[in-house]
């Protein structure tokens, strides 16, 4: 590869990395400037305070208290068309890779036996 070509490739890589860093900076800056993080933390604090009040009320009423009744549901549902497609694609790729590897090793085995 010529020296000029190497310099062009290096410039393209550096430009790409700079753009990625710039986009990351702007994303973080905008999220901070709009108060996104503070808002999500505020929602968590409000939820926690509501659950504490509910717990105290249930204890005062003498109800049977279970910790699961006061915790946020941590199980997120990621089922959608994109994830289902990704799973199908991954399964299909895995199937063909397995067939290819088995065929390759069978051919190597036959070659070694003869």
pLDDT tens per residue across span 95-112: 999 999 999 999 999 888
Closest CA to 68 of 83, 85, 54: 54
The pLDDT-based confidence of 91 (bands split at 50, 70, 90) is: very high
How far is it, in rounded angstroms, from Cα 101 to Cα 109?
12
Q: Where are the domains of the chain?
A: 76-114
Mean pLDDT score of the chain, rounded to an integer? 88
Please work out, in degrees rounded to the nearest 5, the angle formed at the alpha carbon of residue 113 by the alpha carbons of 107 and 114: 95
pLDDT at position 102: 95
H/E segment holding residue 61: helix 36-61
pLDDT more than 90, % of the chain = 39
Place of tokens 């549902």: 77
pLDDT tens per residue across span 19-69: 999 999 999 888 888 888 888 888 888 988 998 898 889 889 888 888 777
């Amino acid at each position: 590869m010529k020296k000029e070509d190497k310099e062009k490739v290096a410039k393209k890589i550096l430009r790409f990395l700079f753009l990625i860093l710039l986009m990351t900076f702007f994303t973080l800056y905008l999220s901070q400037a709009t108060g996104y993080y503070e808002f999500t933390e505020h929602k968590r604090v409000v939820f926690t305070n509501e659950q504490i009040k509910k717990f105290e009320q249930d204890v005062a009423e003498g109800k049977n208290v279970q910790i699961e009744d006061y915790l946020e549901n941590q199980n997120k549902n990621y089922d959608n068309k994109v994830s289902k497609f990704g799973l199908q694609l991954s399964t299909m790729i895995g199937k063909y890779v397995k067939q290819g590897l088995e065929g390759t090793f069978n051919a190597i085995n036959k070659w070694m036996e003869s």
